[in-house]
Structure 1
Amino acid sequence: MEIKKIVIAGAGTMGYSMADIFAKYGYDVVLYNHRQETLDKAKTKIAEAQREKIAYTTDMQAFGDCDLIVENIIEDFDKKFAFYQELNNYVKDNTIIATNTSGLSINKLSEAVSHPERFIGFHWFNPPTLILLTEIIKNDHTRDDVAKAIYDLALSIDKKPVLVNKDVLGFAANRLQLAVVREALSLVDAGVVSKEGIDDVMKYGLGFRWACLGPLETLDFGGLDTFYHVSSYLMPDLEDSHEIPKELAEHYERGELGVKTKKGFYDYADGKDKAATKARDEKLQKLFDALYKD
């Protein structure tokens, strides 16, 4: 299946970044949003070299003539479901429809799509210009040629795709991430280590190593005998709660949502939000250049 023309639905951070990247690699790109002001803002965020290569529209007729639609609208199941139901009125039967959901069920979302065998998850990570991973998630009916087309598309834009063969909540990356978060917050809540300390454990230890080696490669280098014996006494002692971590829930209930509200686990007031974002991006860029730049 050849993909030449791509329509991105949703012009938020992920949507305009996708449009920018696809246009950079020579694809015919249309960026759709139902609000013109959002499109106008998105256009200013796209690299100047790609800005005029992209078409911008609020008209859903744009979905009627393309090879691929990548949906990036709000992470709300009901709104995505309703969007796909309306999309059915415009899209061709052979157009691939992909969602950039972070963890909603691909199977359940596919129920709103005519010909669900052409529906697939295509999960990107923020910032998309630096994070190479994309997860490609099949629903129970996704055709193999559809999955291959998206996998090959990801390779063509220099991403590192991983095929998730079964639809599970959170897919692969967010399941791993939340497992780490659960144990991290359990240790902080028990007073074992401070929040700053738990972040340092990841930044200067595990995360530094995991930038080069995956968890299973790490086991191989460390010795499976060592990890076997550690597992024998540590696994029974790890946090296994099925509840939302207490401190995460408390911040959420107070409206402390992190950088976006200038307070989360840390304080981002008085310009610290911009400084923290800049520092993050600079470090990621250095790491990217060191590991992956030719």
Structure 2
Amino acid sequence: MVHDINNVVIAGAGIMGSSIAQLFAAHEYNVILYDISEEALEKSSSLISVNQAAAMEAGELDEEKAAGIRRRITFSGNKECFQKADFVIEAIIEKMEIKHGFWKEISDIVPETAVLTSNTSGLSLTEIAEAIEKPERFCGMHWLNPPHICPLVEVVKGEKTKQETADIVYDIACDIHRYPVRLQKEVPGFLVNRFQFAILREAMSLVEAGVAKKEDIDKVFKYGLGLRYACLGPFEIADLGGLDTFYNIASYLFKDISNVGEVHDMLKELYGNGNFGVKSGKGFYDYSNGRDKAILAKRDKDFMKVSKCLFGDL
């Protein structure tokens, strides 16, 4: 273990928290998965079993290792579990007032030496830290879904985060075989979501303008750009393509790319009708009649194949 960190407490037994717990336990950390809901803890236990079954089917895990992972995870609804924490990961609802309420209480319970992190997807770490006692030990640690398969972790400092804290979070990510990236300054959405939403904005603009159907835009990424970006970053792609070529294209294309500052009507309408994607059974696509479970299983299976091909055994 690095930095004498052995006991990891994860707050929030949802999809992200469950997956992160599984990952740390796989690297021999003692993990406590905390949630105020007993039902959430039960669902989390089932989800970890499903994740393990998928990994065993893919040849990534055997029965002995799976049993070891389960032994190292404890499920708890008692806040006293934070008294044992060396490292805390908060993965609760993305609402500032809820995070403030959580951290105001928990930062007073944990040992003074504990490192505190949030898996927020883009809320201000500086603002979250306003509720935290000794905010210098608090840092952003943003994971991609599903964390036990996707190896990227964003390490984000708030205004009061000590460099030593950010370094520990970075080292922990490396210790569990992730690929951490550092943000030199805090910006809304961090890195991943700024790229993700820039792409989504342009995709929705093209659909609304009648340029292409959403199915064909998805194919562009699955069978074209996705292959490129799985192996290379945007600066590397530009260098390999020739910066003279990229400069000439940028000179006429940048002014035509969407810079809409409001939420697109197609997303606004889906949201307003309660169509949230897989979680509600309908979004841009229809996930009824069991298609939700099928597409999640296919996603994880495909992600594992790509991950193994590119990174080997993480």
TM interval, shorter chain, is over 0.9
Deviations 1:85-121 (A, max 9, x none): 1113312222111000111111100111111111100
Percent identity at matched positions? Answer: 45
Paired position in structure 1 for 2:27: 25
* Partner SS state of residue 4, structure 2: coil
C-alpha deviation, 1:40, in angstroms: 2.4
How does the TM-score come out when normalised to structure 1? 0.96
Q: What is the rounded CA distance, in whole Å, between the counterparts of 1:16 and 1:65 in structure 2?
A: 19
* Partner SS state of residue 286, structure 1: helix
Q: What is the rounded CA distance, in whole Å, between the counterparts of 2:28 and 2:214 in structure 1?
A: 44
Q: What is the rounded CA distance, in whole Å, between the counterparts of 1:197 and 1:45 in structure 2?
A: 32
Q: What is the rounded CA distance, in whole Å, between the counterparts of 2:288 and 2:33 in structure 1?
A: 33
Deviations 1:189-225 (A, max 9, x none): 0001111111111111111110000111111101111
Paired position in structure 2 for 1:10: 12
Map 1:257-268 onto structure 2 (within 5 A). 257-268=276-287
Paired position in structure 2 for 1:83: 102
Q: What is the rounded CA distance, in whole Å, between the counterparts of 2:304 and 2:292 in structure 1?
A: 18
* Partner SS state of residue 249, structure 2: helix
User: How many positions carry a matched residue from both structures?
Assistant: 294
C-alpha deviation, 1:83, in angstroms: 0.6
Counterpart amino acid of residue 9 in structure 1:
A
**Equivalent pair of 1:259/1:273 in contact (CA under 8 Å):** yes
Paired position in structure 1 for 2:192: 173
Paired position in structure 2 for 1:55: 74
Counterpart amino acid of residue 254 in structure 2:
M
Map 1:85-104 onto structure 2 (within 5 A). 85-104=104-123
Q: What is the rounded CA distance, in whole Å, between the counterparts of 1:87 and 1:237 in structure 2?
A: 49
C-alpha deviation, 1:2, in angstroms: 3.1
Paired position in structure 1 for 2:39: 37
Matching of residue 292 in structure 1 with residue 311 in structure 2: yes
C-alpha deviation, 1:65, in angstroms: 2.3
Q: What is the rounded CA distance, in whole Å, between the counterparts of 1:279 and 1:228 in structure 2?
A: 39
Map 1:163-202 onto structure 2 (within 5 A). 163-202=182-221
* Partner SS state of residue 69, structure 1: strand
- Following TM superposition, where does structure 1 have runs of at least 4 consecutive aligned residues deviating by more than 6 angstroms? none
**Equivalent pair of 1:258/1:264 in contact (CA under 8 Å):** yes
Q: What is the rounded CA distance, in whole Å, between the counterparts of 2:283 and 2:47 in structure 1?
A: 26
C-alpha deviation, 1:41, in angstroms: 2.4
* Partner SS state of residue 279, structure 2: helix
Matching of residue 126 in structure 1 with residue 128 in structure 2: no
Matching of residue 141 in structure 1 with residue 160 in structure 2: yes
Q: What is the rounded CA distance, in whole Å, between the counterparts of 1:250 and 1:166 in structure 2?
A: 34
C-alpha deviation, 1:237, in angstroms: 1.0
* Partner SS state of residue 131, structure 2: coil
C-alpha deviation, 1:277, in angstroms: 1.7
Q: What is the rounded CA distance, in whole Å, between the counterparts of 2:272 and 2:144 in structure 1?
A: 26
Larger relative contact order (CA 8 Å, sep ≥ 6): 2
Q: What is the rounded CA distance, in whole Å, between the counterparts of 2:173 and 2:108 in structure 1?
A: 28
Q: Which moved more, 1:186-195 or 1:42-51?
A: 42-51
- Unpaired segments ≥5 residues, structure 2: 53-65
Paired position in structure 2 for 1:152: 171
- Unpaired segments ≥5 residues, structure 1: none
* Partner SS state of residue 269, structure 1: coil
